[in-house]
Amino acid sequence: MKNLLVLVLIFCCSVSYGQSIANKDSSEQVVVDNEKMKVVQHIGVPNKAVCGVGMHHHEAHLTVAITDAEVLITSPDGKSQTAKIPAGASIWFAAGTHSAINSGDSNTKLLLVYLKD
């Protein structure tokens, strides 16, 4: 399974290399979707959404930071915190609802890996 994730990440990085979102707030692209997993690439520009617009829900997933990211995360109860995520970090998230804004000064690129049953 570990080797499969590494191959998926290499593929995703090569597919997305050189894509630009200079005139958009954010970008979302499904880069893998098969019977085992769905991998979604999210690119967020400063002061805009990182992984979904406004308050939104994610199923449990692995997030892999392709770039450094500084993200302001707000929960449904209004509590906020800033997370600094270094490039290369992998973080498992349980299903949940939040808003997430790029609070840094450069674009962020994240891969969200959703495993299927």
pLDDT in tens, 59-87: 999 999 999 999 999 999 999 999 999 99
Fold of the domain built from segment(s) 2-19+26-115: Jelly Rolls (2.60.120)
pTM: 0.76
Query: Residue 84: which of 75, 73, 92, 76 has the closest Cα?
Result: 73
Q: How far apart are CA 53 and CA 26, in angstroms?
A: 9
Please write the tens of the pLDDT for every residue from 22-65. 434 558 999 999 999 999 999 999 999 998 889 999 999 999 99
pLDDT on residue 27: 84
**Residue boundaries of the structural domains of the chain:** 2-19+26-115
pLDDT on residue 12: 45
CA distances from residue 102 to 10, 18, 69, 91, 112 in whole angstroms, order as listed: 24, 20, 7, 17, 16
Q: How far apart are CA 112 and CA 69, in angstroms?
A: 14
